[in-house]
Amino acid sequence: MRTADLNVLHVTWSLKTGGLEHLVVDLVRLGPEMGLKPMVAVLAQCGQLAEEVESLGAPLFSLGKRLGLDFRMVPRLRRIIARHKVQVVHAHNQGAMLYASLAALISGRPMVATRHGTSRWAEDKPADLSYRLLSHLMGRLARYTVCVGRDSLRVAREVDHIPDKRLCLIYNGVDPAKFPHGPEVRARARQELELDPGMPLIVHVGRLSPEKDQASLLQACARLQRDMDDFRLIILGDGDQREPLQALAANLGLSGQVRMPGSRPDVWRYLASADVFALSSLSEGISISLLEAMAAQLPVVATRVGGNPEVVKDGESGLLVPPRNPEALAGALKRVLQDSALARSLGKAAASRVAGRFSLARMAADYAALYREAAAGKGVRP
């Protein structure tokens, strides 16, 4: 481990279980290996991952943000920056960027901002002028805006008009070692989860929110039910759509096929148990859940939106289908479930693609290099 020579403050809305939050924890874990001293400021809710940050020995600050705009966050962040001699502020997504950018500006410290998703969801809603103005302003205040995929980079450039000199691309990454796979692992995982060893199993991981469009996945499974004797769908995640999705599953006659156990710390066990991973989103950056499923050597079926085509090479390392198209989604799932040779081929290619292009080590090293660029006041290009 190198001696820490750069203090980095991560600012995030929460540390609830999710792709963004897990990425923050990964950056905290790997920071010391890169010569960094990471710390985390949580604006609203600490959540389940706070204990993990503390166990890593990183300072954790819970700022207790009120509902709505709460500009008390700015002086609180500024005091943290001064007291802990922070040299680079790293804000994660627009909510955190607003307060972090002002605190960094007042403190005379550079800010790196990561857009973990894509603005496509907002791009489809041109009336949301406040979102567009905020994205543009944050892009101007940040020393560098990191986009996690080329689609996100295009939106930042063309829609939010962030100058090229302030943009860069760093792909999200995962650690394949965290996602064991193989027949023995699968059998043990299914036994631990009390799943039928021979039951076809579809797994989905994501927030239960409109942009993830789990409703289309349920509708696809209703179509799949007509052609397959039996299967199971497990949806991992929590959100405000839980009750509507449970009601939809009941209305579609899927109550016996669908499980929704909420957010789980053992996602790897569900992935190891699965036969196929499904992602039905209307908008994505570079999905951590998708990368994790591919690292687990699972065949994936995903919608052709956002960064998904950058991750999945259609027909080679997974199958891509149009969004909001339950018929196409059902057809792709059926194809994978009924063709074991295709499933094995897609899964192996998926794991190889993640290891070569979307590794956690590479992502962490890219961020460490960018922090040093920001601290030194140097320029970078996409």
Q: What is the pLDDT of residue 128?
A: 61
- Same-domain pairing of 251 and 365: no
Both 335 and 363 in one domain: the answer is: no
Q: Is residue 163 part of a domain?
A: yes
Place of tokens 């989905």: 204
Q: Look at residue 370 and tell me if it is in a domain.
A: yes
Specify if 1 maps to a domain.
no
- Number of helices (H) and strands (E) in the chain: give both, helices first: 16, 13
Q: Which residues contact 122 (CB under 8 A, 6 or more apart)?
A: 128, 131, 132, 135
Q: How far, in Å, CA of 240 to CA of 243, rounded? A: 7
- Give, in order, the Cα–Cα distances in Å from 109 to each of 55, 82, 163: 27, 10, 20
**pLDDT tens digits, 12-48:** 999 987 788 989 999 999 999 999 999 999 999 888 8
Residue 330 to residue 332: CA distance in whole angstroms: 6
Does residue 284 form part of some domain?
yes
Q: Are 32 and 1 in contact (CB under 8 A)?
A: yes
Q: What tens digit of pLDDT does each residue of 324-349 get?
A: 999 999 999 999 999 999 999 999 99
User: What is the H or E stretch that residue 40 is in?
Assistant: strand 36-45
Q: Which domain holds residue 294?
A: 177-357
Residues 68 and 63: their CA atoms lie apart, in Å, by 14
Q: Which of 147, 154, 118, 168 is nearest to 308 (CA)?
A: 118
Name the residue among 162, 141, 150 with its Cα closest to residue 120.
150
| Residues 156, 241 share a domain | no
Claim to verify: residue 324 and residue 290 sit in the same structural domain = yes
* Co-location of 240 and 126 in the same domain: no
One domain for residues 76 and 208: no
Domains in the chain: how many in total?
2
In a domain, 223, yes or no: yes
Q: Are residues 275 and 369 in the same domain?
A: no
Low-confidence stretches of the chain (pLDDT < 70) are: 1-4, 118-138, 378-382
Residues 203 and 327 placed together within one structural domain of the fold: yes
Which H, E and C letters describe 272-293, residue by residue?
HHCCEEEECCCCCCCCHHHHHH
Q: Which of 161, 8, 170, 1 shows the shortest CA–CA distance to 84?
A: 8
CATH at residue 231: 3.40.50.2000
Q: Is residue 382 part of a domain?
A: no
Could you tell me which residues come within 8 angstroms of residue 211 by beta carbon, excluding any fewer than 6 positions away? 121, 281, 282, 283
- What is the predicted pLDDT for the residue at 378? 56
Cα separations in angstroms, 213 against 197, 207, 302, 317: 29, 10, 12, 22
Write the DSSP assignment of 124-149 as a string of letters: T-TT-HHHHHHHHHHHHHSSEEEESS
User: Does 151 share its domain with 195?
Assistant: no
Statement to judge: residues 303 and 209 lie in one domain: yes
| pLDDT, tens only, 148-179 | 999 889 988 988 888 899 999 999 999 999 99
Assess if residue 207 is contained within a domain: yes
Are 319 and 371 members of one domain?
Answer: no
Q: Is residue 381 part of a domain?
A: no
Residues 158 and 201 in one domain: no
Global confidence as pTM: 0.88
Name the token pair of 41. Answer: 């400021």
